[in-house]
Amino acid sequence: MKTVTLKQIAEKLGVSVTTVSKALKDYPDISENTKQIVKNMAKSMNFVPNASAVYLRTQESKTIGVVIPALVHHFFSKVIDGILNKAEKSGYLVILMQSNENYELEKKQIDLLLKKGVDGILISLSNNTNNFDHLKRVQEYNIPLILFDKIAKTVNCSKVVIDDRKAAYDAVTHLINKGHRRIAHFRGDLNPQNSIDRFLGYKKALEDHGISYDPSLVYICNKNSDFKDGYKTAAKLIEDHQNTVDAVFTITDAVAIGAMKYFSDHSITVPDEIAVFGFSNWFMSSVTNPPLSTVKQPGYKMGKKATQLLLNEIENKKSGISSIPQKIILPTELIIRATCS
């Protein structure tokens, strides 16, 4: 199908190209009747505005870039739903990229988004990211940047997060209140801020309840923090401590479910012999046997909030207004099920 031009619409209606252009942009000096006639004709001729021409005129691409560590993760799928919902309602196209927890790939994706001329970027950092020059380059280009979930404290931009430290503290406190004292922690890698904060919340809950911190009960999962990590780490836990540990708090639900599978395979009953607490409220957590206690993260809301914040900063840039970095902290909720009753 050939591209329909403003000139062709104007010739059909016997008006000037300027009149057609102004009518389609809702200029006030064009009558409502003329606007409607022009728009109806444009629709009937399948007219589509030229994106390149619009960009040259407005310096807007009407696209935003999103970089996440993993598409298959339940939490990030919810975040993406929130981003798409808000962006599409605001007339923005979303370019979605997956870093696969790879810092080098994340850098390349940021470069590509800059070359594509996106109006703003949303990013949740990979577990491997410990250098933030690529993020600072985004800011040097004066492109609005929002970090969400996995963030860098040293990058001066707006962020949307949960209080990982408090969420972990509350989860471990619940285990303690249920009578558990030997509580292991299957943590994420040493680098991501949310992994650090969940570990610190775990440790603080022990200290506040008079339980000595035992570093031998803390295990680092690999950079994926998935089912396999949970299974392997549970095997290591039992090898190291036999049956002296009475609870496990994990970095993600996937790790928790992997651990539960190991316990089941080796006739270690949950929660009678060992309690398990996850993090995220993945849909599978409600259908495990027994159902998994977990921390509910507001993924969908995080996606919408982060996108709204980005769109606000894009509008501020268009208006010549400097955006003051904000940090939005969304609430979490403990979902108590049978793995720690």
Is 80 exceeded by the pLDDT of residue 59? no
Domain 61-161+299-331 in CATH: superfamily?
Answer: Response regulator (3.40.50.2300)
Q: How far apart, in whole angstroms, are the C-alpha atoms of residue 122 and residue 66? A: 5
pLDDT at 46: 82
Q: How far apart, in whole angstroms, are the C-alpha atoms of residue 192 and residue 162? A: 14
Domain ranges across the chain: 6-49, 61-161+299-331, 164-297+336-340
Predicted TM-score (pTM) of the model is: 0.82
For residue range 175-185, list pLDDT tens digits in order. Answer: 999 999 999 99
Residue 173: its H or E element: helix 164-177
Is 50 exceeded by the pLDDT of residue 56? no
Tokens representing 127? 């577990």
Looking at residues 121-140, what average pLDDT do you find?
A: 94
AA letter at 225: S
Which of 124, 182, 180, 170 is CA-nearest to residue 279? 170
Is 50 exceeded by the pLDDT of residue 121? yes
CA dihedral (32, 37, 38, 42) in degrees, to 10, reads 140
Residue 320: its H or E element: none
Cβ within 8 Å of residue 38, ≥6 positions away = 9, 13, 15, 19, 20, 23, 24
Looking at residues 40-69, what average pLDDT do you find?
A: 77
Q: How far apart, in whole angstroms, are the C-alpha atoms of residue 148 and residue 223? A: 18
Long-range contacts of 108-111 (CB under 8 A, 24+ apart): 109/65, 109/67, 110/65, 110/67, 110/134, 110/135, 110/137, 110/138
Q: Within 13 Å, how many C-alpha atoms sit on residue 158's CB side?
A: 25
Q: What is the DSSP letter of 119?
A: S
pLDDT at 6: 87
Helix (H, G, I), strand (E, B), or coil: what is residue 185? strand
Q: Within 13 Å, how many C-alpha atoms sit on residue 165's CB side?
A: 7
Q: What is the CATH number of domain 164-297+336-340?
A: 3.40.50.2300
The beta strand positions in 111-236, using DSSP E, are 120-123, 145-148, 158-162, 183-187, 218-220
Equal CATH topology for 61-161+299-331 and 164-297+336-340: yes
Tokens representing 327? 């940090």
Q: Which conformational region is residue 205 in: left (phi greater than 0), alpha (psi within -120 to 50 degrees), or beta?
A: alpha
For residue range 241-276, list pLDDT tens digits in order. Answer: 988 999 999 999 999 999 999 999 999 999 999 999
For residue range 281-339, list pLDDT tens digits in order. Answer: 998 999 999 999 999 999 999 999 999 999 999 999 999 999 999 999 999 999 999 99
